[in-house]
Amino acid sequence: MAAAAARSAQSRFDGGEFQGYRWMDNSVESRREGEAARCAKLYTEIVANANKLYRSMHPEEEEESDLEIGVFGTQYSQAVLMVGRVCCEADENLQPVPDPLNLNPQSLLLEPIFTGGPGASGRGKRLILNVQALDSYTLFPGCVVGVIGRTSPNSCGGELVAEGMVTGAGLEWGRKATNEEPSISLEVAHADSAPIHVVCASGPFQSVKGKVHGGQRLELIAKYVSDFKPGVLILMGPFMDADFMEATLLEEVETPMSFEDKFNKEILPRLVKLALTCRETRTHLILLPSLSECCFTYPLPQPTVMAMKAYEPWATLAKHLEPMRHVRLGGNPCSISINDMMLYVTSTDPLRSFTAEILMKAPEARPKVDLALEQFVSHRSLFPLSPPVVPIDPNKLRAGSLRMPDSTDIVIFPSLLQPFGKEAGGRYFINCGIFTRDTGTGSIASIFISPQKDADRLASRVKIETVKIWAMPYPDSLLPSAQFFLVHSSMLTADVRAVVEEGWERYSRMTPQKVRILDLFIVFLAYLSVIQFVYMWLVGTFPYNSFLSGFWATMGTAALTCCYRIQLTGGRDTFKEVGPERAYADYLVCAGVLFFSCVNFLG
């Protein structure tokens, strides 16, 4: 009886997969060893790809021996292979890490990685990396590269002149069956030809500008699940955003409430309601934590939220989720196996900081998002930056916890960028978007996975639709399932309100304040022109010269201001030799000529 009582009292969240880990501020040595272990996992592929590149560069050489692995700090007159990590100007000991890290072609450094093999004796020495002879390259702080070249004369081995370079392990990443089990394994029942419907939604579920408080928008997901009945719902945090809570601390409230009480009162009931809805629709619910989760302080890689089940509010959440077997808990990041498809999901935006750090040289310009996805594949990780911008535990990094599994098919993450689905290196990357932006709008991703196992390309099996979420309160007329606002990944929409909100949000985020002032001045001039034209149309044209002078002055100034705006922003490629000072001087001269022309016409 006692044993049976003990088994019944034991929670299903007491297993090892739900346990947390101990961590604290690590030393510089532990961080460096963690980075070295990450880089060493790419060493074999880098050496093989570098030798292939060298043979393609020198086909006349009959001997197919591999390149000599160079030792850092040694002078070489012949071509050797140096495998190392690209350094930035920022010191790893500098906290917080500066953003951006200011990587530029004139100050590139290369430091060795400790692999225990050739070149290990040069550990601790850094070389100046000269990439002027390369036609194309893509680099970032922490990039692991194999450089083919020779040291410059009279540099005592302190400068390496690159003749060729390979970045990471390359895009040829075969799927290998590993002994590592996925964090979550699901078998979703579906008809023979019907696709598996997977919905991905990422928090936050509150907004400051939109005044959406208490996670009410979780009810929209429950409504969507009830109407469309997906097979799997992946819900990523933050469920209660720490940044949002800090922004609302200054608001005047009559009864102050702790974060734990606020979660139990406003977030928890809606999560439980969503879980019950998923049980009714036979939908698997997967919950993932976030770095900005309130009351959850683990760095990457994060365990499940049950790692802190001894504390509130996670203790109360554990009691409610205990009997719900369809609810699964994953870490951040998390590998999820759905039938024959392997998903790698994280609630952390890997593109926000990475795209700002890319240093590229190419004959043709390419989108930085495409370059970033290729680097994720070649480094087998979504977080290859070093020093990392997001908090990462070096002990877990040393253990390879942030390395994407070799069997990965689809990679899912949220980002503030426009939602997309792109293929890179045989993997399909999906940006599911943010559920709640500052304005209150947002989006989720609806993914349909076809069961065609013999398809040539992964993209032919995956179809993505973006579900546009309105600002609260949600219009009652759009609550029926047939009127949910669905758009494809190209973000085509027929709704005027959504277009205006999306355009205004993008304009506010990407337009500098100086350009906004110019736009306001242009609108003011256009308003004056309309007023003058309407007055002439209604009242009369006498004196006609005065009307023409005023109309010319306002419209001409508006046209000159538009030209000045083009030179400051989008026209830099067209007017490469025209600087901001020259553009402003041209504007003043042309405005003066226009003014005297109008005065002369009046006379």
What is the distance between the alpha carbons of residues 170 and 166, in angstroms, rounded to a whole number?
A: 8
Is 36's pLDDT higher than 90?
Answer: no
Is 385's pLDDT higher than 70?
Answer: yes
Dihedral sign computed on CA atoms, order 274, 279, 280, 284: positive
Are 333 and 200 within one domain? yes
pLDDT at 192: 67
Number of H helices, E strands in the chain: 15, 20
What is the distance between the alpha carbons of residues 345 and 342, in angstroms, rounded to a whole number?
A: 10
Domain assignment present for residue 337? The answer is yes
Are 218 and 309 within one domain? yes
Least reliable range by pLDDT among 8-12, 253-257, 438-442: 8-12
Domain assignment present for residue 91? The answer is no
Are 495 and 517 within one domain? no
The mean per-residue pLDDT over the stretch 329-342 comes to: 92
Domain assignment present for residue 575? The answer is yes
pLDDT at 557: 87
pLDDT tens for 415-437 read 988 889 999 988 999 999 988 87
Are 453 and 526 within one domain? no
Are 208 and 308 within one domain? yes
pLDDT at 123: 54
pLDDT at 546: 74
Which of residues 181 and 255 earns the better pLDDT score? Answer: 181
| CA atoms in the 13 A half-sphere facing the CB of 400 | 10
Are 472 and 515 within one domain? no
What 3-state DSSP class applies to 138?
strand
What is the distance between the alpha carbons of residues 226 and 391, in angstroms, rounded to a whole number?
A: 37
The mean per-residue pLDDT over the stretch 506-524 comes to: 80
pLDDT at 276: 94
Domain assignment present for residue 438? The answer is yes
pLDDT tens for 188-211 read 877 667 889 999 999 888 765 545
The mean per-residue pLDDT over the stretch 322-350 comes to: 92
The total of structural domains in the chain comes to 2
CB 350 within 8 A of CB 382: yes
Q: What percent of the chain has pLDDT over 90?
A: 26
Task: Rank 99-113, 463-477, 483-497 by mean pLDDT and report only the highest.
Answer: 99-113
DSSP state of 392: B
Omega of the bond prior to 473 within 30 degrees of 0, cis? yes
In this prediction, residue 318 has a pLDDT band, given cuts at 50, 70 and 90, of confident
Are 491 and 467 within one domain? yes
What is the distance between the alpha carbons of residues 194 and 448, in angstroms, rounded to a whole number?
A: 9
Domain assignment present for residue 576? The answer is yes
Domain assignment present for residue 96? The answer is no
Name beta bridge partners: 224.
none
pLDDT at 63: 66
pLDDT at 491: 38
Indicate the helix (H) or strand (E) that contains 328: strand 327-329
The mean per-residue pLDDT over the stretch 232-246 comes to: 83
pLDDT at 49: 92
Name beta bridge partners: 571.
none
pLDDT at 478: 37
What is the distance between the alpha carbons of residues 234 and 314, in angstroms, rounded to a whole number?
A: 19
What is the distance between the alpha carbons of residues 54 and 200, in angstroms, rounded to a whole number?
A: 44
Indicate the helix (H) or strand (E) that contains 242: helix 242-247
Which of residues 16 and 75 earns the better pLDDT score? Answer: 75
Write phi, then psi, for 381 (nearest 5 degrees).
-155, 150
CB 421 within 8 A of CB 438: no
Domain assignment present for residue 74? The answer is no
Task: Rank 276-285, 316-325, 432-441 by mean pLDDT and report only the highest.
Answer: 276-285
Task: Dump the DSSP string for 423-453.
Answer: EETTEEEEE---SS-TTS-EEEEEEEE---T
Structure tokens at 602: 């009046």
pLDDT at 570: 58
Is 488's pLDDT higher than 60?
Answer: no
The mean per-residue pLDDT over the stretch 286-307 comes to: 89
Are 539 and 579 within one domain? yes
Indicate the helix (H) or strand (E) that contains 245: helix 242-247
Write phi, then psi, for 133 (nearest 5 degrees).
-80, -10
Domain containing residue 574: 511-602
Chosen domain end from 452, 478, 499 = 499
Are 520 and 478 within one domain? no
Domain assignment present for residue 585? The answer is yes
Cα of 241 vs its chain's centroid, Å: 18
pLDDT tens for 361-373 read 888 888 899 999 9
Least reliable range by pLDDT among 51-65, 141-155, 325-339: 51-65
Are 495 and 519 within one domain? no
In this prediction, residue 476 has a pLDDT band, given cuts at 50, 70 and 90, of very low
Supply the CATH number for residue 474's domain: 3.60.21.60
Chosen domain end from 439, 464, 499 = 499
Is 576's pLDDT higher than 70?
Answer: no
Which of residues 486 and 443 earns the better pLDDT score? Answer: 443
Are 481 and 542 within one domain? no
Is 556's pLDDT higher than 90?
Answer: no
Q: What percent of the chain has pLDDT over 70?
A: 76
Structure tokens at 544: 């006609």
Structure tokens at 330: 């994953």
Indicate the helix (H) or strand (E) that contains 422: strand 420-424
pLDDT tens for 320-334 read 888 898 999 999 999
Listed in sequence order, the residues at least 6 apart from 504 whose beta carbon sits closer than 8 Å to its beta carbon are 439
In this prediction, residue 492 has a pLDDT band, given cuts at 50, 70 and 90, of very low
**Is residue 229 exposed (0-12), middle (13-18) or buried (19+ Cβ within 10 Å)?**
middle
Are 310 and 439 within one domain? yes
Is 172's pLDDT higher than 90?
Answer: no
